[in-house]
Amino acid sequence: MKKILFVCVKNSCRSQIAEGFANEYGKGIAEVFSAGSRPSGIINENAINVMQEVNIDISLNKSKGFNDLPVKKFDYVITLGCKDICPFIPADKHIEWNIKDPEGKDLKFFREVRDNIEKHVKTLLENISKITS
């Protein structure tokens, strides 16, 4: 099982959405985590709502920082647009997706971000699956 960490600043929108999709699509191939460089302590209500639209429940997730993670070394660290704000986390591979932050935007924008993240997660998991098979 590959260990994947999704990172954004507050761990309330993008990284939570990515974690939700990776948990849904990565069963059996990935152990998935998310964290933020400055966690907000809450999951954005719009992130919860747009994920419920695709039958993925992230409402019980927690916004957390790096010190809250049970794992300290990852196979993949995926940053979702936090650039210099995100500290270096040990991993075999670092990937930047540069996803726009939906915080403060309308549901239409959240849906576009959700769908973009879903495509990225599916591609990542397909690539991991090819490598491990």
CATH, residue 82: 3.40.50.2300
Look at residue 44 in the predicted model and tell me its pLDDT: 97
The reported pTM is 0.94
DSSP codes, 29-59: TEEEEEEESS--SS--HHHHHHHHTTT---T
Catalytic residue among 47, 50, 58, 86: 86
Whether 82 sits among the annotated catalytic residues: the reply is: yes
Domain count, the chain: 1
Q: Which domain holds residue 78?
A: 2-132
Whether 8 sits among the annotated catalytic residues: the reply is: yes
Look at residue 89 in the predicted model and tell me its pLDDT: 83
Residue 122, classified by CB atoms within 10 Å of its CB into exposed (0-12), middle (13-18) or buried (19+), is middle
Q: Which residues of the chain have pLDDT under 50?
A: none
